[in-house]
Structure 1
């Protein structure tokens, strides 16, 4: 039995965003989008499916080139409305192989094969009678559809005139910016598509629910990737074998550099995984690895753009269930075994609690401690990490959540470079309702550190992160 799936044929004047509409609603970054008009010369169908089940097709088409001439040809061959679809078929027969009006043939063919009309116009320019020839041809096909107003450049000064005109020719007019639209906005437009399809005997709303289910699964997978990355960041360390007569402190610059590079590589890997989950395999980003553009993340003074402020650290760590002394220990503990070479040793004897934490933050410019293993015949093993800085997991998670949110909302029609600057200091952690979440996270981070990142601890962190993904589809 043939699969029943609606086909939406995206048509219109050249350079009005037809390919952008297709890319956004097909969630397909392979759709070619160029600023020059006339780059789409052939109709191309994009099948949207979830788990092998077809939901709908979108057909990208060339723009109308000679609508007035094509309409004149049609009017010579039909005198009644009943004759019009046959005249369009005759037009295709006459011009398909002749090399004349190729663009009109390319866009009319999928409509006459049963496609539904999606007529795209630019809402930033005024309506004019030159568009009426195009819409009249579409009416001659006998195929139902809707008008889609693309406010190119986010300008919508001419919406009213476009809605009036499109309502007369197509009945339904919706506003949709494919470049700026996030998932929720896309679903609103697809619901309008579904109404047109179902009015013509093709059920699609139930299939659209598959897209929402797939979205939830994407959030699940992204949450797990991020939880695993944060766990790794809390437990990561590098090591080297040192000659017996080597000076231990001389090894720290090399180990620190290796540690930082490893952390950057791990974050980049997690980011790529999140991007693939949301079907962004070609996304370009500004900045690489664990860096804020123009600044090094490992400069602690810049951390508060991504992590907690010192005040937030004090209140969160001392009330987050880890205990005041334990919170201070995150900074001033010299490490688990071995001889410490870190500045933390200088403050290791400070009183615990908030005073100890405050002092620890003052000395918190070290990412991790260096520890020496026992002397063996081969030499002595020296390790750097894991980090004890209390803000590290918040910085890592804050960056990951910011990146995930931007990627999840990033339209597949959007082709510029994504800038990963926080919107403002504290943008991630100062949101409403985050205080309780921060305290839960402290407990999760502590459990991961104690267990060295076992599966149960990671699962607990996933449970806290997952609800945060629900914001992705509702924040604009």
Structure 2
């Protein structure tokens, strides 16, 4: 039974406890915007195996006046040993006392040191780094430098630029094994595997076998979380695709008014608006419910933020029950020209409000034949409104945006709040979903199937499409990272 210890150290008030919360997945320690909030080194269990191996993270007090500390240490023949035998009044010289606790923890406990720096500063402007590197050199432990306070998730090349700048700045310190971006507020879980790979490389051979089992246990935990997230979103899209509202039979007059709406000759239908409102209410509830599920699954507090459902009416497809006699009468009025009917039939249904009268003459099929084709293709016994395929595509995009927002959320921030998505996320999602358009179309085509008869195939298929899409997204967002899939 082996315990691997990681000591998280930095200059004071750089975000150690916040990062500890994100890695551990629960609230630990106290967070305030002031120096020396953490007074003593605190141990937290990250994960353990059934065999008894464990990975522990130590949150240590921050280094205080590093320059003055180094000057004092240089005066001694054995600086660290002398420093740890000295006793300072913790109230009169708090920076020195806090530094003593951090150094003691690293020397006595650490297998690997995680040294956190503020990446919002240029390396040359962070004056505390040089003396603290000297202190860490005296301690003689392998060090991984973590770049914190990077801001919201950014395109990978920006992270790499910061990483390269800090690596060059620290090139003269051979005990620094790696420089890695890992923001306390906006880290993504896949970055944790790069961190664990670096930890494993820094350990002696005698401890790597135990660490490998811990890394595998961590991988399985995160993959289970990932798969469960995709299942939640697959069920969400399945529910949306099957949801519909029946419309009352309004007779020939109602059908004529509805055709008038298409060409802008009449106002909106109260019946349709009421049906759309009911669909919108159910969609909003599903968005809230599934976002709450994602939040809970990732160990975050808070409830889903308010979701604004804009332009709802444009997201509906209407399926019309047109009797042959009525269709013939309408065909006489329109001279056989219907709104994009040929294209709509090819796509699987007549989409009201989504096209203009283009004079597509159906020829010998006639209006009565067109009515039969619509009913046959749609399998409709009554009129209804439901989400269009375009709407389901947009819901797929926003579902993955919600997932990325939660998956990047640092636990140290406290309760979950919906914020603006980084601008580069949406176009990447749209590109990846477009590549899987055929598979999505096949899933949407089954949405009219009875839920019992489908045997769960639709949500399973959608979950797999979403999982494949998300893996591709994470590979593009974090190029070079080994995805544990």
State the TM bucket, normalised to the shorter chain: 0.5 to 0.7
Asked if residue 117 in structure 1 is aligned to residue 113 in structure 2, the reply is yes
Structure 1 residue 265: Cα displacement:
0.9
Asked if residue 164 in structure 1 is aligned to residue 171 in structure 2, the reply is yes
Question: In the alignment, what sits opposite 2:367?
Answer: none
Any unmatched runs of 5+ in structure 2? 152-158, 248-268, 323-332, 356-381, 478-485
Question: In the alignment, what sits opposite 2:312?
Answer: 298
Residue correspondence of structure 1 range 19-168 to structure 2 within 5 A: 19-28=17-26, 36-49=34-47, 56-67=55-66, 70=69, 79-80=77-78, 86-91=81-86, 101-115=96-110, 116-122=112-118, 124-126=122-124, 131-150=129-148, 152=150, 156=162, 159=166, 162-167=169-174
Structure 1 residue 270: Cα displacement:
0.9
Structure 1 residue 470: Cα displacement:
1.7
Q: SS of 1:458's equivalent?
A: helix
Structure 1 residue 49: Cα displacement:
1.9
**Residues 95 and 105, structure 1, Cα contact 8 Å, conserved in 2:** no
What is the aligned residue count?
A: 402
**Residues 15 and 35, structure 1, Cα contact 8 Å, conserved in 2:** yes
Q: Which has the higher helix share?
A: 2
Structure 1 residue 386: Cα displacement:
6.3
Question: In the alignment, what sits opposite 2:179?
Answer: 174
Structure 1 residue 254: Cα displacement:
5.0
Structure 1: distance between partners of 2:431 and 2:127:
52
Structure 1: distance between partners of 2:186 and 2:245:
42
- Picking from 205, 214, 220, the partner of 1:207 is 214
Question: In the alignment, what sits opposite 2:353?
Answer: 363
Structure 1: distance between partners of 2:341 and 2:396:
26
Any unmatched runs of 5+ in structure 1? 241-248, 308-329, 336-345, 366-382
**Residues 73 and 80, structure 2, Cα contact 8 Å, conserved in 1:** no
Asked if residue 236 in structure 1 is aligned to residue 243 in structure 2, the reply is yes
Q: TM-score, normalised by structure 1?
A: 0.67
RMSD of aligned residue pairs (Cα, Å): 4.6
Structure 1: distance between partners of 2:109 and 2:88:
20
Question: In the alignment, what sits opposite 2:229?
Answer: 222
Question: In the alignment, what sits opposite 1:340?
Answer: none
Q: TM-score, normalised by structure 2?
A: 0.66
Question: In the alignment, what sits opposite 1:334?
Answer: 321
**Residues 167 and 179, structure 2, Cα contact 8 Å, conserved in 1:** no
Structure 2: distance between partners of 1:13 and 1:219:
34
Q: CA 1:138–1:159 in structure 2 vs 1: closer, same or farther (change >3 Å)? A: closer
Structure 2: distance between partners of 1:174 and 1:239:
59
Structure 2: distance between partners of 1:421 and 1:96:
44
Structure 1 residue 466: Cα displacement:
3.1
**Residues 244 and 387, structure 2, Cα contact 8 Å, conserved in 1:** no
Residue correspondence of structure 1 range 312-323 to structure 2 within 5 A: none
Structure 2: distance between partners of 1:95 and 1:200:
40
Q: SS of 1:475's equivalent?
A: helix
Q: CA 1:137–1:398 in structure 2 vs 1: closer, same or farther (change >3 Å)? A: closer
Residue correspondence of structure 1 range 336-351 to structure 2 within 5 A: none
Asked if residue 195 in structure 1 is aligned to residue 201 in structure 2, the reply is yes
Q: CA 1:452–1:117 in structure 2 vs 1: closer, same or farther (change >3 Å)? A: closer
Structure 1 residue 39: Cα displacement:
3.9
